[in-house]
């Protein structure tokens, strides 16, 4: 509350007191009524410590009015009623003040609770990140190094014995090494980065694989909340679809669309053109992705027509 209403209330309160002290006997009742009106109003307008000053002065003046002036029975009763209302107003003011203090205390406790909750979530998140980092490091140090050594040996054998078998084995080992690296990168996705990180990783995969990805990200997708498990699953689905396109399609152009369904889930569609229809049999990679997405409450469909191959589905968001 500003200073002006408080100053005005004190000024009017002072006028009431002066009028009471100098008023004639017939005017005492109305003087006291005026005094009580402004002092009652002051109970609500002045802060708690000062309101008790107003209450104390009011009680003293009430006793003084009964002592210094002669009153009839009706006037005395009226003054006593006004005094009771005055005390009641003070009590209500105290209750309101206590409730305000309790509300402030509740807000403080709620703020502390939220702070502790954020700290716990941050600690859990740090623990998960540490565990994923350890797994990624173990994969890189064991599988990655072994595959690198295998590729080097196959390179030497392919030079010594120029056969297509060694070249094919080297190609398969190189692809396995690249998939291992992609898995390590996916394990390092931060939970709060979500869709934006998935898009970044796909762009990186596009550059490394020398394919052209036409990315369409519809409104509201980048701001969608997605857990780490779902982010990794979405990335792996798109990665597997791009890998299939590189292996089987006659073109190196792929269209990737990310949107939101009516239920708020993240909808995805990966489409590549086919110049000639070929027989399609669902491989291990697609089967595993379908299972993984299903475990997260989503769905995945694979459709092949005469001129295109489409992988589509949806993953529930956290919002």
Q: Which residues pair with 260 in a beta bridge?
A: 266
Three-state DSSP class for residue 72: coil
Q: Are strands 212-217 and 253-260 parallel, antiparallel or unpaired?
A: parallel
Q: Quote the pLDDT of residue 79.
A: 58
Q: For residue 25, what is the DSSP state?
A: G
Predicted confidence at residue 299, as pLDDT, reads 92
Residue 282: strand, helix, or coil: coil
Q: Which pLDDT belongs to residue 34?
A: 56
pLDDT tens figures, 246-304: 766 667 788 999 998 888 899 999 998 877 766 667 777 788 888 889 988 999 998 88
DSSP characters over 195-264:
HHHHHHHHHHHHHHHT-EEEEEE-TTSTT----HHHHHHHHHHHHHHHHHHHHH-SS-EEEEEEEE-TTS
Distance CA 49, CA 232 (A): 60
User: Across the 319 residues of the chain, what is the mean pLDDT of every consecutive 10-residue run?
Assistant: 48 51 50 56 52 58 55 57 63 75 89 80 69 69 71 74 72 76 63 68 75 84 79 83 72 86 88 74 78 90 85 85
Quote the pLDDT of residue 145. Answer: 67
pTM higher than 0.75 for the full model? Answer: no
């Amino acid at each position: 509350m500003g200073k002006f209403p408080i100053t005005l209330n004190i000024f009017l309160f002072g006028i009431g007191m002066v009028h009471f002290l100098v008023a004639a006997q017939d005017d005492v009742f109305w003087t006291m009524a005026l005094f009580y009106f402004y002092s009652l109003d002051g109970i609500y307008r002045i802060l708690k410590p000062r309101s008790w000053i107003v209450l104390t002065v009011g009680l003293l003046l009430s006793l003084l009015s009964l002592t210094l002036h002669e009153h009839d029975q009706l006037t005395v009763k009226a003054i006593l009623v006004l005094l009771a209302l005055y005390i009641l107003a003070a009590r209500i003011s105290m209750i309101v003040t206590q409730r305000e203090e309790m509300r402030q205390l509740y807000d403080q406790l709620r703020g502390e609770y939220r702070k502790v909750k954020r700290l716990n979530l941050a600690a859990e998140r740090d623990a998960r990140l540490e565990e994923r980092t350890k797994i990624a490091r173990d994969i890189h140090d064991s599988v990655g190094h072994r595959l690198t050594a295998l590729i080097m040996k196959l390179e030497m054998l392919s030079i010594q014995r120029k056969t297509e078998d060694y070249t094919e084995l080297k190609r398969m080992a190189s692809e396995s090494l690249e998939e291992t690296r992609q898995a390590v990168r996916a394990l390092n996705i931060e939970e709060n980065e979500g869709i934006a990180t998935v898009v970044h990783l796909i762009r990186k995969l596009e550059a490394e694989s020398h394919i052209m990805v036409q990315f369409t990200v519809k409104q509201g997708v980048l701001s969608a909340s997605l857990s780490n498990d779902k982010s990794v699953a979405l990335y792996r689905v798109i990665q597997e679809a791009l890998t299939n396109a590189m292996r089987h399609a006659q073109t190196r152009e792929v269209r990737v669309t990310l949107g939101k369904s009516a239920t708020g889930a993240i909808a995805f569609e990966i489409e590549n053109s086919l110049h000639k229809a070929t027989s399609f049999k669902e491989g291990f990679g697609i089967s595993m992705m379908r299972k993984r997405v299903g475990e997260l409450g989503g769905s995945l469909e694979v459709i092949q027509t005469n001129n295109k191959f489409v992988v589509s589905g949806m993953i529930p968001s956290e919002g």
